[in-house]
Chains A and B, each alone.
Chain A
Amino acid sequence: MSPSARPATMDKTPLRGHGDTAPAAHTNMPAPFAATALPSVLFERAEDRPYAEESAAPACFHDLNLDQIVETLVAGRAEYGLKSFFHAPLKRAGAIAYRQDVLRDLEHPALFEAVKSFTRRMREMRGHLASTEKLSYRYQKERWFLETVETYCGAVEQLARDLAAAPLQSQGLLAFHACLTSYTGSSRFIVLRKQIAKQQADLSRVTYNLVLKDLSITVRKFEAEADYGAEVLATFEKFKQGDAKDYRVKYPDSLDISHIEAKIHEHLAALYPAEFSALDRFFADYQDYLDEAIGVFDREIQFYIAALEYYEPLKRAGLAICYPKISEDGKAIFSRDGFDVALAHRLVGQKATVVCNDFELVGAERILVVSGPNQGGKTTFARAFGQMHYLASIGFPVPGREARLFLFDKLFTHFEREEDITTLRGKLEDDLVRIHEVLRAATPDSIVVMNEIFTSTTLSDAMFLGREILGRIAALDALCVCVTFIDELAALNEKTVSMVSGVYPDNPAVRTYKIARRPADGLAYALAIAEKHRLTYARLRERLPS
């Protein structure tokens, strides 16, 4: 794929604001650059961004089990607010290639580990910061803040070293690396680093005694007195017997300190004025320590980490994953050895086999009509078709050895729904209304996935309606997968391709889950399934009391 034009602003990258400004001047100033100037590893151009940061899941999510996929992707990543990225398909092949390139870079194990390690440390840093913000005692809070900033600096420096050592190829990561190098070399960052080291050395020298008398406590500098507790322990050592029930009240580790300790701090601050006022200053000066470009990277890179970690168990199970070619106009598409990733995720977890399938549309072909025995993987096939197209559209790798997929404008699904008492519409009417809405909104560049519609009506009705609806889709020239039990639809016209789910010839109750391109054979296998569930008349007579 050809690297598409890069916006000029990215080439020179170093961000304004990272340069030579002294830390003091930074105090309480907002980040001096607009968000659009920040390098983004997710969006090559500003126009690729979704209009709204918060967007709801597309309507097809539930039917295609994309909701399950995204739930797995964002599991443990709630703090990054990633969902909107998964909800926004890209509209240019170039924008998709930009993401595919970043993913290819991140597939280098060392780099991937380095990036994950960086985000772990950033998360630890945020954890510290959140704890710190809850504290109310001044010197306790300030000391926690110092540790937080140190974690941040360590994470940033390590990432800069790791990126320098990595063979980066993608525009996205190269641009960010340039920005990062400039930042770690800036005086702002170097001064911050020195300040942290000095504060830590100073505070490690503050040692003191507390003298408690009657109801009083006196705070004093430490003067190397002997360990009396150790002497006491030694004295009573001989009385010690075996284990006994522990009557001591347990005090859990906690950030909390008492008002007494807070008072002690105040006295210590008087005893060690230089160290404590330096800590005060550090706290006041570095509230804006977090660089915005670092924050953006930390969030956006999670998109890719989630993607690669999601596919990881599938690859380990020997399944093929590929970067699809994206077709912006031609509707000749294909996939070799594709599968339903949500299902594969579950099956791999159970060490079960995942069945892969191919599809291909050539010439005038637009509509895959899937028929054949029930429970033969037809729905899974349709779902995989939709999933692959959607995943490709957000720059993800897709299941399969090789694929060319269409850059759709809208992806529609029509799966059967349960009756809803609040609409007061019958199921068939509901089906028709929803399909009508889909067809009204669909364009020749849309994809429609229909699964087992019109099951709530008679055979003759279903045939009539199926022919009408598929005829309309064919006339529109949209891409479509239609799962149906109505064999007649498979040979409707030159746009339809018949796909049939297979069984093992010697045992018709066992499905191959292979969906092959061949004429519909009119056979279904319902009774075999009834037998499997012991629901034939004879079986039921055995099961039920007579």
Chain B
Amino acid sequence: MKAYLLYRDRDFDLDAPLPPHADALIQDLELTTLFGAMARGDEFLLDVAKKTILAGMDDLDAIRYRQAILRDCLKNPAIVAEMYALVVDAIGNERKNYWGIFHRYPGAILNRAVDVLQMFVTMLKRLRRIAEDHADKFESEGFTTLFAMLRRELDDGYFAAIEEHLRRLKFRDGVMISAELGPGNNGVNHVLRRPREQSRGWLMRLLPRRGGPFTIHVHPRDESGARLLSDLRDRGVNQVANALAQSTDHILDFFRMLRIELGFHIGCLNLHRQLDEKGMPVSFPVPAAGSERRHSCRKLYDACLALTLGTAVVSNDVAADGKALVIVTGPNQGGKSTFLRAIGLAQLMMQGGMFVAAESCCSNVCARVLTHYKREEDTTMKSGKFDEELERMSAVVDQIAPNSMLLFNESFAATNEREGAEIAGQIVRALLESRVKIFFVTHLYEFARAFHERNLTNTLFLRAERQTDGNRTFKIIPGAPLETSHGEDLYERIFLRGEPLPPAQGKFRERQPAK
């Protein structure tokens, strides 16, 4: 039995290692914030969100398959939440059925397996009930298949058969065990036997009267005597306990997989609700083939910033169809990093089969999403900053496959501008020729200018908007690179005018365009 609510034809492997570039992505795109919003404090959901998003898909059909399931979830959040709660309960109850200190004894293994199976049967019945009651409300291939399977596989006859076994395995009438004599006349090869149905009370008749010569009476408080009896019983039920415990594990695996798969969608529902509360639009993106160069969005914004700020944030339109290189320049603190993060997040979310933080979005899928951001000094002291930066760049190059996307944020600034521009230029030229799609936020004026002068049709220049009064709008608009970064006004404000800095958030809000 497979649920297949993430992929059409396979399970999701939660234990698979993260892609090599995962840590950098998490750090550079502030993914912890995104995962946190999806998890809402639940560690399991956090793990699922992280692993599913970082294991993005580049197959258009697979993306659409998952989008359809998520659309169903958004239509039926309560039913999906009920299913998830049920699955969590089933797994939680199994765990609560503690192995205790007796897990080395087959009798205890068997009793536990019987209890767990009984609980699982109850849960499976409820799950089938949900399938029966609500199947008509779901349209996606994933849910339709799952509900049909539940109704087909878990019919009444099957449940009746399980319950009959569980009843027997409680041994209300006693345990019948056969054994052979081994070395020294010790009992060996213990085998559990099934008494004939009609001989209910059979054990009582077989046993001699109390006090007879064949009976050993263990005093109720003789623990070692009692221990010997239980030991014999354990040998007898060893095999059946094993078989039953394995069965519970199989059912548990089904619930676990369902929990992972539903967990992803629950995370998406959580995220959706939070963005919705802030009045921020989301939409299902239209993925284009990896060989194309598509990037057009309306009202694209940084979901992480929206989640952090707890309020509406600036959004941008992007018209970069046919562009392989997008160079973003402009004043400090003008929204460039935020814009770059929005691009990266939308790409990851799309390839995770999710909605994205935009009113509409169409982008080509990428083999890999990679980042190269300026970093704090390498604290292992192995080398200088520029060397460390290029070492990371080289590691990124090792990850590149054709049609990857690479986001640069102020890379190659750890040396002086002329040299940084030269190296950035060489790297970007080589990457473009290897069909890598590039977004490059930079202060390297020399670098931006050089590309601008080449006047290539596949290059787009964007700039953080700065109004004539020096204020930033945080809007990223088309525009050629300009030479200054306006550090002088910051210096004047902080050092000379001694203006106390407004609280960052307040300042941010104040500069929002009026809604």
> Contact residues of A with B, CB < 8 Å?
65, 68, 215, 340, 342-343, 346, 374-380, 383, 415-419, 421-429, 432-433, 436, 451-452, 454-462, 464-465, 468, 485-486, 524, 526-527, 529-530, 532-537, 540-541, 543-546
Contacts and interface: CB of A to CB of B under 8 A. Distances in A.
15 contacts: A65-B379, A374-B414, A375-B383, A380-B381, A428-B332, A428-B487, A436-B495, A452-B377, A458-B443, A458-B483, A458-B485, A459-B445, A460-B484, A465-B491, A544-B400
Interface in B368-384: 374-377, 379-381, 383-384
B415 A419 contact: no
Interface stretch (B2-10, B129-137, B239-247, B416-424): B416-424
A241 to B, nearest CB: 11
Interface in B418-439: 418-420, 422-423, 426-427, 429-431, 433-434, 436
A245 to B, nearest CB: 14
Contact of B397 (A380, A416, A535): A535
Contacts of B457: none
B508 to A, nearest CB: 5
Given A459-B416, A460-B484, A433 B375 contact: no
A424 B431 contact: no
B436 to A, nearest CB: 8
B390 A529 contact: yes
Given A379-B385, A456-B413, A535 B508 contact: no
A455 B417 CA distance: 9
A342 B381 contact: yes
Nearest to B420: A526
Contacts, number: 186
Given A379-B384, A544-B434, A461 B487 contact: yes
Contact of B494 (A419, A436, A460): A436
Contact of B333 (A426, A454, A462): A426
A464 B487 contact: yes
Given A340-B381, A421-B33, A526-B419, A544 B430 contact: yes
A529 B383 CA distance: 11
B504 to A, nearest CB: 4
Contacts of B219: 215
B30 interface: yes
A544 B487 contact: no
A415 B378 CA distance: 11
Nearest to A373: B384
Given A429-B494, A544-B434, 18 more contacts: A215-B221, A342-B381, A346-B381, A379-B384, A416-B377, A419-B337, A421-B304, A432-B487, A457-B332, A464-B487, A464-B491, A524-B415, A526-B422, A526-B423, A535-B423, A540-B431, A543-B397, A546-B433
Contact of B375 (A418, A429, A545): A418
What's the interface size class on B, roughly? 35 or more
A375 B384 contact: yes
- Across the A-B interface, give the 5 residue pairs with the lowest CB-CB distance, nearest first: A426-B333, A375-B384, A540-B430, A461-B487, A526-B419
Interface in B386-414: 386-387, 390-391, 393-394, 397, 400-402, 410, 413-414
Interface of B: 30, 33, 219, 221-222, 304-305, 308, 332-334, 337, 374-377, 379-381, 383-387, 390-391, 393-394, 397, 400-402, 410, 413-420, 422-423, 426-427, 429-431, 433-434, 436, 443, 445, 483-488, 490-491, 494-495, 501, 504-505, 507-508
Contacts of B376: 415-418
A369 B428 CA distance: 33
A84 B167 CA distance: 65
Contacts of B501: 433
A383 B332 CA distance: 28
Contact of B485 (A215, A375, A423, A457): A457
B511 to A, nearest CB: 11
Contacts of A416: 376-377, 385
A540 B397 contact: yes
A132 to B, nearest CB: 27
A332 to B, nearest CB: 29
B423 A465 contact: no
A486 B417 CA distance: 10
B76 to A, nearest CB: 34
Nearest to A418: B376
A536 B377 contact: no
Contacts of A417: 376
A333 B410 CA distance: 38
B413 A455 contact: yes
A455 B376 CA distance: 12
A421 B377 contact: no
Contacts of B305: 421
Contact of A536 (B221, B386, B416, B426): B426
Contacts of B443: 456-458
A456 B375 CA distance: 11
B85 to A, nearest CB: 33
B419 A527 contact: yes
A456 B419 contact: no
Interface centre among A346, A436, A459 (most CB of B within 10 A): A459
A432 B489 CA distance: 11
A89 to B, nearest CB: 23
A424 B491 contact: no
A534 B484 contact: no
B504 A424 contact: yes
A533 B381 contact: no
Contacts of B495: 432, 436, 468
B374 to A, nearest CB: 7
A432 B494 contact: yes
Contact of A458 (B426, B484, B504): B484
B333 A429 contact: yes
A452 B384 CA distance: 11
A433 B426 contact: no
Contact of B414 (A427, A429, A455, A457): A455
Interface centre among A423, A427, A485, A530 (most CB of B within 10 A): A530
A342 B380 CA distance: 10
Contacts of A530: 390, 423, 426
B494 A379 contact: no
A426 B415 contact: no
Contacts of B433: 541, 544, 546
A488 to B, nearest CB: 11
B340 to A, nearest CB: 11
Contacts of A452: 377, 385, 414
B434 A545 contact: yes
A376 B423 CA distance: 19
A524 B423 CA distance: 13
A535 B427 contact: yes
Contacts of B400: 544
A456 B504 contact: no
